[in-house]
C-alpha cells in the first residue's frame, strides 16, 4: 500500500493518516481498471511544513442493482462469428460490442468525492501519493488507482538538494574579512539572524552543489610511476580527458582504478587504493602519472558556511533536519586608494609574492594585468581543423580503445 518510490505497506504512517493504507489485495486473475495520474504542484513551504489538501475528484461508479449479464454474449465478453472464405468456413472470435467485451451490462453515474491528500514533510520531488481503487469502477473487476505525483515548484530564494537548503547572498570584502550579521526569513516564517563567529574569515568557494554528478578530481605527477601496482588495462591514446571518462563513466567504471600513467603515447591503468598509489610512487623518466585526489583534500575544498539543522525535515523522519548552506558571492572593490592599501597591508598577513626587482631592470620585461574574457580570447584565435586530413589520419592511427589486461 501507500505512496511512491516503492512506498511501504499499510504500516506507513503517512498512508494511514491519509487513508491510503487500506489497500486490498487484488484477487488473482481479476481485471483492474486504468490508473488515473495527476500532477500536484506544491511549494517548498508546503513540503517544509507538511500540508493536507482537500481535492474534489469525479469518478464513474456503477449504480447499485443495475448490473446484469450481457444477453448478446452470455457473459463471456466475446462472440463467435462464422466467416465463409470460398470453400472454407472459419470461426472468428471477437469482442462483444454490446458490453464492450466486459460480459456485463450496467448503468453508471458520475459522483464527486473529496480526497484528502497529505503532503508529508520533506517529501522528495516526484513522490507518488496513491489512493487505491479510487478510479472509475468497472464491471467484473476492481477500480484502478488515483495517483498524485508531487511536483516541487521553484522558490525565488531557497534551493533544495535532498534535505539541505541553499541560499545565495552577496557580501562585501569587508564582511568577508571582518564578519557580518544577516537577516533571513525561513520557509515557516521564522526570522533568523545569521552571524559569523569572532575572527571568522570568509574565503571564496568554487564548489557548485547543483552542478550535477560529483566530478572526479585528479592530481598530476610529472616523472613518476607506480611500477609495482597491478595493471588491469591499457589504451593506445594519450588523450587525458578521454582516459578519465573511461574510468568515471566507461569500461573501467567501478573497477577500482586509482591511477593511470602516460608514456610514449600510451596509457596503463592501475587498480589500487589512493594510499597504495601514493606509497608505491617512484621516479620514472618520460612518464606522467595521474592519481585520484585525496578524498580528505577534496572535502576540504568543498567546505561551505552553513547553519546546522535549519534545512528541510528529513523525509519520513521529520524530527531530523538537514542544514542551511550559504552560497556567498564576495563583491570586491574596483579600486583602492594608496591610504587604504597601506592600511590593509598593515592589518593583513604578508604577501605571498614579493620581488626586489625594479621596473627599470633591463633583465625583465615589465607587464601589467588587465581583465579579459577567456572565451572570447579562445574564439578569436581558434583554428578550424575539421577538414584537416592529416589530423584525421593521426586520430585514426592513435585508436583509443581500452584493452583489458589478460588475467
pLDDT digits (tens, 9 = 90+) for 286-341: 999 999 887 777 777 789 999 999 999 999 999 999 999 999 999 999 899 999 99
Label residue 228 by pLDDT band (50, 70, 90): very high
| Average pLDDT across the chain, whole number | 85
Per-residue pLDDT averaged across 348-360, rounded? 89
- Percent of the chain, pLDDT > 70? 86
Q: pTM to 2 decimals?
A: 0.69
Other Cβ atoms within 10 Å of 221 Cβ, number: 19
Backbone torsions φ then ψ of 209, nearest 5 degrees: -70, -15
CB 275 within 8 A of CB 259: no
Q: Which residues pair with 131 in a beta bridge?
A: 146
Rg, C-alpha atoms of the chain = 34
| DSSP code of residue 204 | -
- Percent of the chain, pLDDT > 90? 55
In terms of pLDDT, which residue wins out, 396 or 27? 27
pLDDT at 13: 46
386 pLDDT more than 80: no
Per-residue pLDDT averaged across 390-401, rounded? 50
CB 139 within 8 A of CB 68: no
pLDDT at 244: 92
CB 17 within 8 A of CB 129: no
Label residue 401 by pLDDT band (50, 70, 90): low
Q: Which of 113, 115, 109 is nearest to 64 (CA)?
A: 109
In terms of pLDDT, which residue wins out, 231 or 104? 231
261 pLDDT more than 60: yes
Other Cβ atoms within 10 Å of 403 Cβ, number: 11
d(CA 343, CA 66): 93
Concatenated DSSP letters of 269-305: EEE--HHHHHHS-EEEEEEEEEEEPPHHHHHHHH---
Cell numbers standing for residue 196: 559569523
Label residue 3 by pLDDT band (50, 70, 90): very low
In terms of pLDDT, which residue wins out, 5 or 169? 169
Per-residue pLDDT averaged across 173-183, rounded? 94
Q: Between β-strands 146-152 and 36-42, what pairing exists: parallel, antiparallel or unpaired?
A: parallel
d(CA 131, CA 21): 8
6 pLDDT more than 90: no
pLDDT digits (tens, 9 = 90+) for 9-59: 333 444 544 445 555 555 566 789 999 999 999 999 999 999 999 999 999
| DSSP code of residue 355 | -
Q: If you count DSSP H runs as helices and E runs as strands, how many of each does the chain have, helices first?
A: 9, 25
pLDDT digits (tens, 9 = 90+) for 80-98: 888 887 788 888 888 888 8
pLDDT at 407: 52
Label residue 211 by pLDDT band (50, 70, 90): confident
| DSSP code of residue 25 | P
In terms of pLDDT, which residue wins out, 406 or 346? 346
Q: How far is CA 65 from the centre of its chain?
A: 52
Amino acid at each position: 500500500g501507500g505512496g511512491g518510490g516503492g512506498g511501504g505497506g499499510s504500516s506507513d504512517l503517512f498512508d494511514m493518516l491519509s487513508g491510503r493504507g487500506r489497500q486490498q489485495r487484488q484477487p488473482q486473475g481479476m481485471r483492474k481498471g486504468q490508473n488515473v495520474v495527476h500532477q500536484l504542484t506544491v511549494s517548498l513551504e508546503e513540503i517544509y511544513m507538511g500540508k493536507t489538501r482537500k481535492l474534489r475528484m469525479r469518478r464513474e461508479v456503477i449504480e447499485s442493482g443495475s448490473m446484469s449479464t450481457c444477453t448478446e454474449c452470455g457473459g463471456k465478453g466475446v462472440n463467435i462469428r462464422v466467416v465463409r472464405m470460398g470453400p472454407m468456413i472459419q470461426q472468428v472470435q471477437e469482442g462483444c460490442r454490446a458490453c464492450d467485451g466486459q460480459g456485463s451490462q450496467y448503468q453508471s453515474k458520475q459522483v464527486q468525492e473529496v480526497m484528502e491528500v497529505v503532503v508529508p514533510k520533506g517529501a522528495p520531488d516526484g513522490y507518488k501519493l496513491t489512493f487505491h481503487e479510487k478510479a472509475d469502477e468497472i464491471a467484473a473487476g476492481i477500480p484502478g488507482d488515483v495517483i498524485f505525483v508531487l511536483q516541487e515548484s521553484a522558490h525565488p530564494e531557497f534551493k533544495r538538494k535532498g534535505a539541505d537548503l541553499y541560499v545565495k547572498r552577496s557580501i562585501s570584502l569587508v564582511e568577508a574579512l571582518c564578519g557580518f550579521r544577516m537577516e533571513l526569513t525561513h520557509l515557516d516564517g521564522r526570522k533568523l539572524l545569521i552571524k559569523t563567529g569572532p575572527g571568522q574569515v570568509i574565503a571564496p568557494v568554487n564548489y557548485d552543489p547543483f552542478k550535477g554528478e560529483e566530478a572526479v578530481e585528479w592530481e598530476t605527477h610529472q616523472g613518476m610511476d607506480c611500477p609495482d601496482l597491478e595493471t588491469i588495462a591499457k589504451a593506445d591514446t594519450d588523450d587525458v580527458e578521454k582516459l578519465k571518462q573511461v574510468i568515471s563513466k566507461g569500461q573501467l567504471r567501478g573497477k577500482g582504478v586509482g591511477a593511470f600513467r602516460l608514456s610514449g603515447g600510451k596509457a596503463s591503468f592501475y587498480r589500487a587504493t589512493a594510499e597504495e598509489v601514493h606509497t608505491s610512487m617512484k621516479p620514472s623518466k618520460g612518464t606522467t602519472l595521474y592519481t585520484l585526489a585525496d578524498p580528505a583534500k577534496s572535502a576540504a575544498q568543498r567546505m561551505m558556511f552553513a547553519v546546522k539543522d535549519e534545512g528541510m525535515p528529513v523525509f519520513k523522519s521529520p524530527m531530523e533536519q538537514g542544514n542551511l548552506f550559504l552560497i556567498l558571492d564576495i563583491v570586491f572593490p574596483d579600486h583602492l586608494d594608496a591610504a587604504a592599501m597601506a592600511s590593509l597591508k598593515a592589518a593583513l598577513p604578508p604577501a605571498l609574492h614579493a620581488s626586489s626587482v625594479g621596473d627599470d631592470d633591463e633583465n625583465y620585461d615589465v607587464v601589467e594585468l588587465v581583465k579579459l574574457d577567456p572565451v572570447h580570447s579562445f574564439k578569436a584565435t581558434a583554428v578550424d581543423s575539421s577538414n584537416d586530413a592529416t589530423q584525421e589520419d593521426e586520430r585514426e592511427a592513435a585508436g583509443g580503445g581500452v584493452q583489458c589486461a589478460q588475467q
